[in-house]
Amino acid sequence: MGRNLTAGLSLASVAVFVLIWQAGAMWLNDPLFLPPPLDVVTGAVELWRDGTLWSSLLISLMRIMGGWLLGSAIAIPLGLWVGTSKAARAMVDPFIHFFRFVPAIALVTLFIVWFGVGEASKILLIAYATMFIVMVNTASGVGSIPQDKIDAALCLGANQRQAFTQIVVPASIPAIYVGMRLALASSFLVIVAAEMLAASSGLGYIIWTSRLYFRIDWMFAAIALLGALGFVTDRAWKAVGRGALRRYLRDTTKY
């Protein structure tokens, strides 16, 4: 299937969705329950003109990127360590498989008590949600490397450090990439909860406070923008995988 056809089908499906939304809004005839698309666009323009929507988007994006990168920076070395050391796996496994089933949303209030209502609590909460996904994927990527490949490098004179840096790390890059992509989606889930409970800005804050003014159109506008932001960041990360990641793997394997 060609790119033009794929893009056309995607646009057609979005258009059908908007038409169904419009028909549902007309049938219900209750803007407080389901505002029509044009009302949502009007509300978004209103928020955009006074600067609220733009500043909220940037603030939420900063929090998401900060927590995602911090969590990944912590998780990748730990995942590589756990994947290459049986002793490390035995020590860390109970904590990984305990805390990764404790949702970050359950810890929002606790993080506010520990770190306050400032940016630290939100970024650290996103880092928490991110790190276990990246760590598990990284460790799984290391574990899937054939032992014969490492043994062959050692037999040819490489030491443990060289085998790790030249074989284990490059072979784990795809698993790390996938883990970070999955964790990015988790970061968007957490930021909304954090901004609803302890923020005076951000898209989650708009969603939460819109109910006080019965501005469901603002709520829908913030939700739509949050989804669009997630779509764009995911596509950008996917483009990194198609470009830089492919070149990196080609350069590390051509010899």
Q: What is the pLDDT of residue 195?
A: 82
| CATH class as words, domain 35-253 | mainly alpha
Beta strands (DSSP E) in the chain are none
Q: Kindly state the percentage of the chain with pLDDT values over 70.
A: 93
Concatenating the DSSP letter of every residue in 72-121 gives HHHHHHHHHHHHH-HHHHHHHHHHHHHHTTS-GGGGHHHHHHHH-SSHHH
Using only C-alpha atoms, what is the Rg of the chain? Answer: 22
pLDDT band at 255 (very low <50, low <70, confident <90, very high): very low
Tens digit of each residue's pLDDT (9 = 90 or more) over 117-167 = 788 888 999 999 899 899 999 988 888 877 777 777 777 777 777 777 777
Contacts for 37 with CB less than 8 Å, ≥ 6 apart:
18, 21, 22, 25
CA 184, CA 67: separation in Å to the nearest integer? 10
Tens digit of each residue's pLDDT (9 = 90 or more) over 159-204 = 777 777 777 888 888 889 989 999 998 888 888 888 877 667 788 8
Instruction: Taking residues 84-105, report their average pLDDT.
Output: 83
CA 24, CA 183: separation in Å to the nearest integer? 34
- Asked whether the beta carbons of 129 and 190 are under 8 A apart, the reply is yes
- pTM for the structure as a whole: 0.83
How do the domains of the chain map onto residue ranges? 1-30, 35-253
Mean pLDDT of the chain: 83
Q: What would the two tokens of residue 249 be?
A: 């793997």
CA 139, CA 79: separation in Å to the nearest integer? 5
